[in-house]
């Protein structure tokens, strides 16, 4: 059977794959992993894109979440990104964008999508899309996407029996800056508050808040597999920052007042703005815990309309003040088993959470839009030869970039391990925006 091969350019900024979170690696390479029969050219935008690639009329150009993060990396950096990839705006290819954290610099993102004539934005925020995209929602299509998806290896993972897991409650989170609003603040305070409560009940926790607790790849999966219960909170923000001005104000204030509480920062920088909207999405951690048989203790939230309290997870208040109720539920093994089973079933029943299903829908959408456009893009070019040329010419550049990234990360971790190093990093960020 002949396959109508699509020629697809994927623009991303993943960096060294082995340093990236598992869900990001899966996200960037989901199409080629699920449907390798098509012609793909993956380009990391941290490196210059050869002109011969820009000259090709692809069937589709995909803008990955890591590529779209450029909007909050600083004005000069962002303008360079727009200039370097201006050819996308003029291309007749089907153009799809996969942003996340859309509440950050949403007006910039909205204008970007319009200026580049993007066909479809896959938003991970199910509600308030007209707020996030005041102009694009009138011009293009907005489809629901997710921050992470399921693949066969995770679904079929032979996870550890519940009673053999050494950790009672496991959690990892970084302390988000105040400009994520109260929802962002809760992501780390819930870990702090639960750890305090759990200690009084004699529970064994493994809760780390900060970069030192970061686990990548198989280590992250093993951590969840070792946890009887996985703690979690809503992923997202309760604060809309249209052009990044709130973020800049907060950073400046916190630099001058490093011990300021969230309430003090709120009063000084965004009084009355937090909580006007809630932009939340189900996180990859929720999917991973569901597939690995870890019962979830979650701050009540929307969770993309898929999970409900006491049916799929044990709910907890955002200040853990009801931990006594949570602890009682943890002791009810029948309830725990039911929650683990029903949570897994609910996730698996949501077909749009499958990498393969999502990739199939994306390819179908590309074909439909390409047919309507009737461009016949790229059929006079051997994309396979172009891809091979690209790989040969760029391989050393990629290796050099990855080595530099790894060295920088090792140095950063070393500095973060001592107080003086942390102060140095803070100073360098102010001066060099690293």
Q: Judge whether 7-149+354-414 and 152-351 match in fold.
A: yes
- Paired tokens of 298: 């979650």
pLDDT of residue 252: 96
432 has pLDDT over 50: no
DSSP output for 337-362: HHHHHHHHHHHHH-GGGBHHHHHHHH
What is the distance of C-alpha 382 from the center of its chain?
34
Tens of pLDDT, residues 60-79: 999 999 999 999 888 899 99
Mean pLDDT score across all residues of the chain: 91
Domain ranges of the chain: 7-149+354-414, 152-351
Q: Are 430 and 44 in contact (CB under 8 A)?
A: no
Q: Residue 425: pLDDT above 60?
A: no
The mean pLDDT value for 413-419 works out to 69
By CB neighbour count within 10 A (0-12 exposed, 13-18 middle, 19+ buried), where does 148 fall?
buried
d(CA 236, CA 100): 9
Lowest mean pLDDT among 226-240, 317-331, 356-370, 397-411: 397-411
What pLDDT does residue 422 have? 56
Fold adopted by 152-351:
Rossmann fold (3.40.50)
Q: Give the whole-angstrom CA distance, residue 215 versus residue 316.
A: 25
Q: Which CATH number fits domain 7-149+354-414: 3.40.50.920, 3.40.50.360, 3.40.50.11540, 3.30.450.40?
A: 3.40.50.360
Compute CA distances 89 → 86, 112, 123, 143, whole Å.
Answer: 6, 10, 20, 20
Confidence category of residue 423, pLDDT binned at 50, 70, 90: low
Which pLDDT tens digit goes with each residue over 253-301? 999 999 999 999 999 999 999 999 999 999 999 999 999 999 999 998 8
Nearest to 299 by CA among 280, 272, 276, 275: 280
pLDDT of residue 434: 41
Taking only the tens place, the pLDDT of each residue in 1-25 is 445 899 999 999 999 998 888 888 8
What is the Cα gyration radius of the chain?
22
Helices 419-432 and 383-416, interaxial angle, to 10°?
130
User: End-to-end CA distance of the chain, in Å?
Assistant: 51
Q: How many CB atoms lie within 10 A of CB 350?
A: 18
């Amino acid at each position: 059977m002949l396959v109508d091969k699509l020629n697809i350019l994927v623009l991303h900024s993943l960096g060294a794959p082995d340093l990236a979170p598992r869900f990001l690696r899966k996200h960037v390479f989901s199409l080629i992993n699920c449907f390798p029969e098509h012609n793909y050219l993956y380009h990391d935008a941290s490196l210059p894109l050869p002109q011969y690639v820009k000259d090709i009329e692809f069937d589709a150009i995909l803008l990955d979440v890591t590529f779209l993060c450029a909007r909050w990396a600083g004005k000069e950096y962002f303008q360079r990104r727009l200039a370097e990839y201006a050819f996308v705006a003029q291309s007749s290819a089907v153009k799809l964008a996969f942003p996340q954290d859309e509440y950050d610099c949403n007006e910039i993102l909205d204008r970007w999508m319009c200026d580049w004539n993007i066909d479809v934005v896959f938003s991970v925020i199910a509600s308030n899309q007209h707020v996030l995209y005041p102009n694009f929602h009138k011009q293009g299509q907005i489809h629901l996407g997710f921050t992470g998806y399921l693949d066969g290896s995770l679904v079929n993972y032979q996870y550890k029996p519940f009673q053999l897991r050494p950790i009672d409650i496991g959690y990892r989170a970084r302390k988000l800056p105040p400009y994520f609003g109260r929802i962002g603040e809760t992501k780390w305070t819930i870990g702090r508050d639960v750890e305090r409560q759990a200690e009084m009940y004699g529970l064994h926790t493994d809760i780390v808040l900060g970069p030192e607790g970061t686990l990548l790849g198989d280590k992250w999966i093993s951590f969840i597999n070792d946890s009887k219960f996985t703690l979690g909170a809503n992923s997202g923000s309760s604060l809309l920052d249209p052009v990044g001005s709130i973020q800049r104000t907060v950073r400046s204030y916190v630099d001058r007042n490093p011990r300021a509480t969230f309430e003090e920062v709120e009063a000084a920088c965004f009084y009355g703005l937090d909580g006007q909207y809630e932009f939340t999405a189900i996180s990859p951690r929720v999917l991973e815990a569901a597939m690995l048989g870890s019962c979830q203790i979650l701050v009540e939230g929307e969770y993309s309309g898929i999970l409900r309290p006491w049916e799929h997870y044990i709910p907890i208040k955002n200040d853990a003040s009801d931990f006594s109720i949570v602890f009682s539920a943890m002791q009810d093994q029948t309830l725990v088993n039911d929650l683990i089973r029903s949570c897994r079933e609910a996730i698996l029943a949501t077909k749009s959470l499958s990498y393969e299903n999502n990739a199939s829908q994306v390819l179908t959408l590309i074909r439909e839009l390409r047919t309507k456009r009737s461009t016949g893009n790229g059929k006079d070019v051997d994309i396979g030869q172009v891809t091979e040329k690209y790989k040969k010419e760029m391989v050393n550049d990629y290796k050099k970039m990855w080595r530099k990234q790894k060295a920088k990360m090792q140095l950063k971790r070393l500095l973060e391990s001592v107080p003086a190093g942390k102060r140095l990093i803070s100073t360098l960020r102010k001066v060099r925006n690293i």
